[in-house]
Amino acid sequence: MGFGLVKRPVRPQAYGNEEKQGRGGESHAARADRIPANPREPKTRAMATSPQNPAVVTRSPEEQEQVDRETDKLALYYYETCPFCIRVLRTIERLRLKIELRNIRKVPAYREQLLQGGGDSTVPCLLIHNDDGSMEWLYESDAIMSYLEKRFA
């Protein structure tokens, strides 16, 4: 046998659900659902639960719909290479939240919104639309993750 090319499964990019409205409403979390298991890494799923890497949240369809309605009022300002954003994105993924992602490096208008609305262009920042019509701009990855855990875990 020679050294032929070995075809490896390609893992689609996990982030970028800012396209969710343009792509039939599918979030990155939903897309991750149909990523085929990689036969070369059979143990990664079994090892997924640990204090450092807690389990992915599961919900009934009705519960997920309710959560989706709530996360419609949230948006995350971020960019892909920001390590603090990546931590928040992992939390979003694990909690199966369909939060609109606004990449400030791809869309200059998002950076402007963040600067004008929140007063600072630092990412990550979670925009929260409250029921009374007010808006909150939540900075700091730890604060954002705690907020999401408290509300949705």
Ligand X SMILES: N[C@@H](CCC(=O)N[C@@H](CS)C(=O)NCC(=O)O)C(=O)O
What is the three-class DSSP state of 8? Answer: coil
Structure tokens at 137: 């701009």
Q: How far is CA 29 from the centre of its chain?
A: 7
**Least Cβ distance, residue 141 to ligand X (angstroms):** 4
In this chain, which of 32, 73, 80, 122 binds ligand X, going by CB under 6 A?
122
Alpha helices in the chain (DSSP H): 28-33, 42-46, 61-71, 83-94, 108-118, 141-152
Nearer residue to ligand X within complex by CB, 15 or 20: 15
Q: How far is CA 112 from the centre of its chain?
A: 21
Nearer residue to ligand X within complex by CB, 29 or 125: 125
Residue 141 binds ligand X, judged by CB under 6 A: yes
Q: Judged by CB under 6 A, which stretch of 12-20, 21-29, 79-87, 91-99 contacts ligand X?
A: 79-87
Chain residues that interact with ligand X, rule: CB under 6 A: 82-84, 121-124, 140-142
